[in-house]
């Protein structure tokens, strides 16, 4: 599982000309899944995201988490996070999880964030989305967790 985390002052996602999700302050997450991702990995990533200390404290030091600042999350499904452009000029997306399994994991991830009493807005899995991100800082962190017990 990969998540590109961006600290955001404002973010929105528009689908077919209509705003589907919007936040004023918090994190914009671009979320991708691969083979063997599971609920255990999702639990780890939820904890990592909500406790990541990338918000400024009173001294201007990144020392506060999303929970500390009562921020929101805009979560966007992003299979292209698993794009591999190491060969040629056209990325391969073979490592990106597709279909029902990816949709299910994405929904589980967002629901687990909501269970932590966080306002979570989303795009629509697989839709053509226009994402507007006002990146604050800019602060951008790539989180990744692989299943070390593949096939178990």
Q: What is the pLDDT of residue 150?
A: 55
Token pair for 9: 């002052």
- Residue ranges of domains in the chain, CATH in brackets: 2-144 (3.50.80.10)
Residue 10 catalytic? no
Catalytic: which of 6, 28, 34, 78? 78
Contacts of 122 (CB under 8 A, 6+ apart): 13, 20, 21, 74, 75, 76, 110
Catalytic one of 33, 55, 79, 109? 79
**Is 55 marked active-site?**
no
122 is catalytic: no
| pLDDT, position 68 | 98
Burial group, residue 88, by CB count within 10 angstroms (0-12, 13-18, 19+): exposed
What local confidence, expressed as pLDDT, does residue 92 receive? 95
pLDDT tens per residue, the chain (152 residues)?
A: 999 999 999 999 999 999 999 999 999 999 999 999 999 999 999 999 999 999 999 999 999 999 999 999 999 999 999 999 999 999 999 999 988 999 999 999 999 999 999 999 999 998 999 999 999 999 999 999 998 765 44
Q: What's residue 149's pLDDT?
A: 67
């Amino acid at each position: 599982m990969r998540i590109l985390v961006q600290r955001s002052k404002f973010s929105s996602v528009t689908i077919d000309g209509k705003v589907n999700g919007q936040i004023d302050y918090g994190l914009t997450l671009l979320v991708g899944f691969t083979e063997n991702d599971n609920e255990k990995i999702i639990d780890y990533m939820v904890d990592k995201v909500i406790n990541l200390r990338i918000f400024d404290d009173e001294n201007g030091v990144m020392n506060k988490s999303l929970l500390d600042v009562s921020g929101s999350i805009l979560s966007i499904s992003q299979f292209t996070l698993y794009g591999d452009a190491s060969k040629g000029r056209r990325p391969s997306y073979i490592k990106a999880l597709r279909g029902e399994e990816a949709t299910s994991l994405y929904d589980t991830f967002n629901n687990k964030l909501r269970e932590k009493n966080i306002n979570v807005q989303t795009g629509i899995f697989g839709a053509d989305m226009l994402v507007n991100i006002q990146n604050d800082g800019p602060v951008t962190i790539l989180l990744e967790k692989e299943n070390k017990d593949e096939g178990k």
